[in-house]
Amino acid sequence: MDSSDIHVKDTPASMSSMDMITKDSIIQQAQELIDEVNDKRKHDELFSEYRKQLEKHVEKRCITAQQQMVAMYEEHGRLMEEKLKKLFSCLDRVGKAESELMAFKQSLAMLYQEMQLDIDKIKTST
């Protein structure tokens, strides 16, 4: 067997029809696998792109929600500050009223004591 015999056996003309069918079927299967892989890559790329878009959308929504929460907290803080100012003002007025009431009570107690002394003097002088 010389090198020309080997060369002739490997040429397409010398291949049997069964060998050609097998070769064609292998090529077809390989192409189908390549097509499937490419389809999966496209699907994966679409999924990745969808995921990126979804992440961007969620990020935007989170930022918007956070901004709305901050605005709401600021508004509630402002309202609470106004109410606390009113409360402290009211407490100051209550404190002043208590002081005035205490002073009035002491004056009334002194007046009562003086009246008792005057009554006692009247009783003793008669």
Q: Tens digits of per-residue pLDDT, 91-114? A: 999 999 999 999 999 999 999 999
Q: Residue 80 falls within a domain, yes or no?
A: yes
Residue of 40, 59, 39 whose CA lies nearest to 51: 59
Q: E strand or H helix at 13, and its extent?
A: none
Q: Residue 6 falls within a domain, yes or no?
A: no
The residue type of 46 is L
Q: Residue 122 falls within a domain, yes or no?
A: no
The conformation of residue 14, written as its DSSP 8-state character, comes to: G
Domain that includes residue 76, residue range:
16-94
Q: Residue 114 falls within a domain, yes or no?
A: no
User: What predicted TM-score, i.e. pTM, was given to this entire model?
Assistant: 0.48
Q: Residue 11 falls within a domain, yes or no?
A: no
The conformation of residue 126, written as its DSSP 8-state character, comes to: -
**Total domains present in the chain:** 1
Asked if residues 8 and 14 have their Cβ atoms less than 8 Å apart, the reply is yes
Q: Give the pair of three-digit tokens for residue 12.
A: 């397409």
Q: Residue 100 falls within a domain, yes or no?
A: no
Q: Residue 103 falls within a domain, yes or no?
A: no
Q: Residue 9 falls within a domain, yes or no?
A: no
Q: In this predicted model, what pLDDT tens digit does every residue of 18-41 receive, in sequence order?
A: 667 788 889 999 999 999 999 999
